[in-house]
Chain A
């Protein structure tokens, strides 16, 4: 069975600081990787996704993620955060033949103005 772990449950930053959120998965086969975000009072929405090709993926709102196969990791980064990036971030994975998402526990990010 596949599983996803996110290292930090809570992160507090000041505006303009850099953000990196860790995500590791356990699954022996080909995976598809996703980062979803949930802003306060809103529903889950996709930030970015990776299937194959260039392991550095760029998403919306200046976010990017790097797939490192040897480390089973898919960390999310943003060079300079804004107050509006305050949200909960979820890493998720699907296997090659299956489309059900397996989510990590989420990381709550608070950006102080």
Chain B
């Protein structure tokens, strides 16, 4: 596709439920990032994939959060036992090779609301 796509665009769930958020990066981009943006704040880094492996997961807030990228393309962010504080916009970005000088291209985000 032309850009990074994310599905669903909106997700409403109840406290304690499990959710999966999907990211489809720009074709050919080996680096994929997840960020979380809470209301009124800038995006915060969660995890970075280089190919299939998580190269840096230092931003994941706790063990309820997990992400995979099994074939080095599409990635899924998984949140177990959701809490109201998980409500935020989850952003995915990709870049060509993961160099710190590269532009990261962002998707439209998934707006998660935990009731």
Q: Show the binding face of A for B, using Cβ within 8 Å.
A: 4, 32, 36, 42-46, 49, 51, 90, 92, 94-106
Contacts and interface: CB of A to CB of B under 8 A. Distances in A.
Interface residues of B, number: 30
A95 B100 contact: yes
Contact of B100 (A4, A44, A94, A103): A94
Interface of B: 3-4, 31, 33, 35, 40-45, 48, 56, 58-59, 91, 93, 95, 98-109
Contact of B43 (A32, A99, A101): A101
A49 B99 CA distance: 14
13 contacts: A43-B106, A43-B107, A46-B104, A90-B42, A92-B42, A95-B100, A96-B100, A98-B100, A100-B45, A101-B33, A101-B35, A103-B43, A103-B44
Given A43-B3, A90-B43, A101-B33, 17 more contacts: A36-B106, A42-B108, A44-B93, A44-B106, A49-B101, A49-B103, A51-B101, A92-B42, A94-B100, A96-B100, A99-B95, A99-B104, A100-B48, A101-B35, A101-B43, A101-B104, A102-B45
Contacts of B98: 99
B103 A99 contact: no
A85 B59 CA distance: 32
Contacts of A100: 33, 45, 48, 56, 58-59
